[in-house]
Every structure is written in structure tokens, then in C-alpha cells.
A and B are shown apart, each in its own frame.
Chain A
Amino acid sequence: MVVQALKDNGVRHIFGYPGGAVLPIYDEIFQQEDVEHILVRHEQGAGHAAEGYARSTGKAGVMLVTSGPGATNAVTALQDALMDSIPLVCITGQVPTALIGSDAFQECDTVGITRPCTKHNWLVKDVNQLAAVLHEAFHIATTGRPGPVVVDIPKDIQFAIGMYTPPQTAPRTSYQPKIQGDLEQIKAAVALMAQARKPVIYSGGGVINSGPEASHLLRDLVELTGFPITSTLMGLGAYPASGAAWLGMLGMHGTYEANMVMHDCDVMVCIGARFDDRITGRLDAFSPHSRKIHIDIDPSSINKNVHVDVPILGDVGRVLEDMVRLWRATVKADKKALAPWWEQIEKWRARDSLAYKPNDDVIMPQYAVQRLYELTKHRKTFVTTEVGQHQMWAAQHFGFEEPNRWMTSGGLGTMGYGLPAALGVQIAHPDALVIDIAGDASVQMTMQEMSTAVQYEAPIKIFILNNQHMGMVRQWQQLLHGNRLSHSYTEAMPDFVLMAQAYGCHGIRCDKPGDLDDAIREMLEVDKPVLFDCRVAALANCFPMIPSGKAHNEMLLPDEASDEAVANAIDAKGRALV
């Protein structure tokens, strides 16, 4: 029945790991060919792989794990999907109904543990409800603001025979996400935008979640209005990095021009983003002179951190459709009025905030990402990352032209996300080039999934920017803790090339800038999973940066970041923040 429900919900692949309490479902999987099961090496890997699968396809990712430790290992991936709004359906086995509550072997309170890290969850106690619950699970995971759901199925229910009901579109009455935006509000927003002299569009992951049409409409809107656009980490690719209006990413490690525009603007149009603390910096100094428009499908995101003047509740795609139509019909575009604003932006751009000192002897991490981009940009490339400095360098220096090509753990910041996510992306897109831009510390958290990649002949490329440290931790220790590098240096680094051989995949090491291009080409040509150990400058810092307690217009830029400036970047007040 479970497998039938998966088929009826359009599922082709699931990621999972068997165990006692899910054996009946695994037995069904064995006896059919419509749903392909990918056997991971750890349940967290199944979760991130399903997330990568979901984010690169726009469909729900599905994972199947056993009770107890299977379920608890899935928790990190569930919370990750919750914070980044990824549709993820997690099916967990449970001990038989009669044993629930008896501390049975491999029992845990799965619905209790996963309640705060899912959009909704169910414990199925009646086999006749099973099909309906599974259909509802898919419906809730994929509609409204997407998110993870858990369906916990006791073993006796898996064995039981009951009535199967096909999917139907009569969801429960209490769950009715608002899709269509209020037209009066959209009119008010367009009127405000038409008067703007210093506008900015600030887009986020909601545009990607809304589907490819939303990205097209966003591009139309930018084209029509002539507004500059910046994006959050999660929203990269919705507007092409090569576009004329593109300012680069904003926020803590965003570009100077993007953050200055946010600070000085008079009208801010926030589309599918949520004013996260990594974006806003000091809230009381966040964009003090602007009127703010906020489009979001989740009412709780509106006015949560930042007060907005024109809230529009609805699906980004639908609202943008109305907005573009209204702009076309009612506004006579006067792009000249924005000329002084663009002049100012060009001045900020000229600061070249992503610049770094090139080096002939050591590979600079930024250089490595740039070369990787240059050598892959002509191909259909998907990029995943782990979490840390390498993630920010990837976001800053890799140009994303299309939505759904960039998979990263934004909200939760899960180290170890990238490798299994790359696996999930590769399963969904067997012919595409899938690269995990990784850090040496993060990648070791889920390294075991290399074995999965080898088993399923998924030629993922793990490009490790190896600086021997937890680079971002080390950078914060340098900035905030007197450069006392407490446990951020990895003394016993494995030999990644030997490790690759042990897994039966391909290993490459490169430590000279001059050899880098050839080494990357080798990585791209090998039709196997690759572990690429790119030895980069160990102590490079990720700039620009908004230090603690500072506003958008008080960024620390790379050319100003002398040792003294770094040491004094955060004043006593900033230090006092908890």
C-alpha cells in the first residue's frame, strides 16, 4: 500500500536504509520496479540526498528509514528542510502498535521527536487511514510554504491488509494556504514602486520554490522596472548572475554594493525572503529610510523581524504575475529617474568588494572557485555546498544563471549537507555535472556517502577547498576571540586521495595554482565519483563581512582588513552581545 501511494504521488526515487521495523515495506520495494530505492550509508545522508533531489527538481524528496535510531538520525535533515522550505516526505517504521510505549527494541517517540522539526507528522494506527495519510503528507509537504513531513507506520500496520484509496484533492479544511495575493495590496505596491527613486529588489528562496515561472516573472519585473536586484543565499540563480541589474548576494558576506543599496534605498521589494539575521545585520539600523514591500506565502514571516509597509500574502509566482501585469498596464516606465541611483551603485561596485590578493605559489580559495566556474559554465552544472567559508566563496564567485541549480544549507547551516545532496541531485539528473564545493571539515561529516555514489555510479565531483581548518570557525576566533584557535585545526587530516581509492572512486590532489586548470579538467573528464583535494591558503578569510553589532553600511572590506582592522572590527558593544 505504501509503495502504491508513492507511485500514485509520482515518486520515482526514494532514499533509505532498512531496519527491523520497515522490513515489510522493503519487501514490497523488492517486488516491483517502478520506484527505485537508493541505499545510503546513514539516514542523515538519505535526508540530505532527498533534499538535493527535491530542490533540483521541484518535486518532493522521499526518504524511508526504520524506527528508533533510523528516525533520530533523520532529524538533522528534517530540521534542515524545515528551515529552507524543502518538500521532504519521510516515512519511518515504528514498533508494532501493541508495543508502543513499552520501551521496545529500537523504539522512540518519533512523532514527538519530529514534531517541532516538521511541518506536520502522523502516527498511523489504522491501516484504512494509511493511504489517505500518505496522500495528505505529499499534499502538505509540497503546497503552501513547502516543508518536511513524517509518516510513522507501526510494523503491524505495514503487515495489515486494508482499503487503498487513491489520491484526491479534498484536503482538510483547516489547511488552506493562501496562494493568490490581494489585488489592492499589489496595486499599492506597484504605486509605491513607481514613485521610487532609489529602489531595490531583494529576492529569496521563495522565488525558487514557487517554480521556474516565478523566476521568469522576476526577470521580467527587473527588466520592466529597471530596478537593481540582490538575493539571499537561498535565492541565487532566480535572477542570472550575468544580468545587468545584478548586485550580487547580500548579507553578512554579501557584496558591498548589495548591502549599501539595501541600506540607502527608499523602496525595498522583498520577494520570497524572510529578513533573516544573516541578512539584516543590526535590526535597528536596517535600511532605515525605506518603505518595504514583502511578498511571502507564510503569514508568520511577515513582520516577524522587520516591520513592512505593504505586506502581500500569497505565492510569489502568482503575485509577480499580477504585479508585472499591473506595472505594464498602469506605469509609464521612466528609467531615467533611476539614473542617479545607478550612478551611485556603479561607484559602490567600483570598490570591487570581492577582490582578493592573487598568489602564484598558493591556491587562493576564491581563485579555485573562479576557475571551477570558468571551466564548467558551458555545461549544465548543479552545485551543492557544505557549510562554512567555502560555501560563502562559492556563493560569491560561482555565477548562477538558472534556478534550481544551487543547493546549500542556508537556515540550519548543516555541515555535511553537500555530499549527500550532490548524490540526490545526480540521481535526479544522471547526465548533468554535479559538483559539491566542500570544505575539508564538513565533508568528513557525511563522507560515507561516497560509497553510495560508487554503488549507483553517480559521478559526483567533490571539490574540497582544503585549508586544514574549520575555516569559518577559525575566522570568527580570529575576529572575536583573540585568535585563540580553540579546536578549529584538524591535526590528523585524512589523505583524501587514498580515501578516494579506498571507496573505489577517483582521487586528485592539487596545491599549485599553475596546475589547477589541468586538475579540474581531469576531474571533469573522469566518469566516476571524484574526491578533489584542493590545497588552498590555510589562513584566508572570507570578506567582505558585516561584523557583529554593525549595520549594512559598516562592512569590513577585504582591502581594509589588515590584521589591526580585523582585531578591532568588533567594538566593546559588539562583544557584549550574547
Chain B
Amino acid sequence: MNAQLQPTGSAYFISKEVAKPEKHTLSVLVDNEPGVLARVIGLFSGRGYNIDSLTVSETEHEKHLSRITIVTSATPQVLDQIRHQLERIVPVHRVVDMTIAAAEYGHDRPLERELALVKVAGTGDARVEALRLAEAFRANVIDANTGHFVFELTGRVSKIEQFIAIMKPLGLVEVCRTGVAALNRGPEGM
């Protein structure tokens, strides 16, 4: 009976992944045409890559170029694959691994910022505390009445994570985040 239950063989040869995954930020310059974002994210889902964060907008209107910023986690070998696979997409102009580029310039990380809108509802001490903490985090109040605040906060991912965690017991209602925008330091473009 055990023989029946044994896992069966396979036509494939699977070898274990040994390298450790790393978190990298990729900048992808693309022609802003219909379907281009679907091509990029379809590649990630189709080939089993991760997307931790994704930001996209047209950045050069006259050339119709959009810049997609993707934060992904993978082993160095897979990161290399992701870059090459992205470059194969016809409307993709350039792909730069910002994390590697930063290292080449001698920096720890690329400049990475995110914007978050955070809605907090409450009254009394909790409300005062929320406002006090928001000032400490340099968050702007962009909407408020006697029962709630909407804060606008920009900064590194870790700062936003921390702010949200602090707001949780103070009446956090909902959060909207833009995802990471990234540039490298220094005078050169990507």
C-alpha cells in the first residue's frame, strides 16, 4: 500500500535554490502605450517573480515615456533574469537595477521615497496624541473635522510603516500608499 502512496517521479529536474533573496529596486523606462504595464506585470506573475511595490507614471510627455519603479525580492541570479526578461519586452527602453547602481556609485541604497495618506478617527486623548505624533513625523493634515484626521506623509518605507503601526491603536481607519519612487544620488540619470 505504501508503494501506492509514495510520491511519483517526474519528468523535471528540480534543484534547490541555495542563494538568499535580496530586495532590489528596478527602474524601467517604457513607451507609454496601451498594454505596456500589463506586459510588465504579466511577466512577473507568469514567471513567478515577486512584486513588493510598483509605481508608474508618464515622466517625459513629449517622448511618451513612462517610468515604472518596481521593488522585488529575488536571488541575485533571478534578479539578473528579471532584468533581461524585462529588456526583451519590445516597448521597454532601459532597465536599471537601482540597488546595484547605487552600490556602484558607492552608496548604500538609492533614494527611495513613498507617499501615504493615513486616515485616523477618534476623540479625546487619542486624537491629541495622533496629532502630536503626526507633527513629530512631519506629516501634514490635509483633511480634518472634530472626529478625524487625514495625514499626508512622505518618506522612506520604514518611516511610513512605523507611522502606520503607531496610528493603529489611535484609531487608524484606512491607508493608501503610492509605492516606492526611486532615483539615484549624483548628477547622472539612469
Q: Is the CB of B46 within 8 A of A116?
A: yes
How many residues of A are counted as interface, with CB atoms below 8 angstroms from the partner's CB atoms? 40
Task: Pick out which of these stretches binds chain B: A5-13, A167-175, A360-368, A518-526.
Answer: A167-175
Given A115-B39, A119-B90, A174-B90, A548 and B77 contact (CB-CB distance below 8 Å): no
Q: Which chain B residue lies CB-closest to A123?
A: B34
Given A172-B31, A277-B12, A281-B13, A304 and B81 contact (CB-CB distance below 8 Å): yes
User: Hey, what's the 0/1 contact readout for A262-303 against B, CB within 8 Å counting as 1?
Assistant: 000000000000000100111110000000000000111011
Q: Is the CB of B12 within 8 A of A578?
A: yes
Specify which chain B residues have a CB less than 8 angstroms from the CB of A120 in the assembled complex.
89-90
Q: Is the CB of A282 within 8 A of B13?
A: yes
Interface residues of A in 475-491 (CB under 8 A from B): 476, 479-482
Q: Is the CB of B9 within 8 A of A300?
A: no
Q: Is the CB of B10 within 8 A of A174?
A: no
Q: Is the CB of A284 within 8 A of B8?
A: no
Q: What is the bound-complex CA distance between A476 and B10, given in angstroms? A: 9
Given A284-B15, A300-B88, A577 and B35 contact (CB-CB distance below 8 Å): no
Interface residues on B, range: 20 to 34
Among all A-B residue pairs, the 10 with the closest Cβ atoms: A300-B84, A480-B9, A577-B10, A120-B90, A174-B93, A575-B9, A299-B84, A570-B9, A283-B15, A548-B9
Interface residues of B in 20-58 (CB under 8 A from A): 30-31, 34-35, 38-39, 42-43, 46
> What are 14 A-to-B residue pairs whose CB atoms are below 8 Å?
A112-B38, A123-B35, A140-B90, A172-B31, A281-B13, A282-B13, A282-B15, A283-B13, A302-B84, A303-B81, A570-B9, A574-B9, A577-B12, A578-B7
Q: What is the bound-complex CA distance between A283 and B12, given in angstroms? A: 11
Specify which chain B residues have a CB less than 8 angstroms from the CB of A160 in the assembled complex.
none
The reply on B142 being an interface residue by CB < 8 A is no
A-B contact count (CB 8 A): 86
Specify which chain A residues have a CB less than 8 angstroms from the CB of B91 in the assembled complex.
172, 174
The reply on A23 being an interface residue by CB < 8 A is no
The reply on A432 being an interface residue by CB < 8 A is no
Shortest C-beta distance, B78 to chain A (Å), equals: 10
Q: Is the CB of B31 within 8 A of A174?
A: yes
Specify which chain B residues have a CB less than 8 angstroms from the CB of A115 in the assembled complex.
35, 38-39, 42
Q: Which chain B residue lies CB-closest to A484?
A: B4
Specify which chain A residues have a CB less than 8 angstroms from the CB of B85 in the assembled complex.
300
The reply on A576 being an interface residue by CB < 8 A is yes
Given A280-B13, A283-B13, A283-B15, A299 and B3 contact (CB-CB distance below 8 Å): no
Q: Is the CB of B84 within 8 A of A116?
A: no
The reply on A504 being an interface residue by CB < 8 A is no
Shortest C-beta distance, B43 to chain A (Å), equals: 8
User: Hey, what's the 0/1 contact readout for B77-100 against A, CB within 8 Å counting as 1?
Assistant: 100110011011111110000000
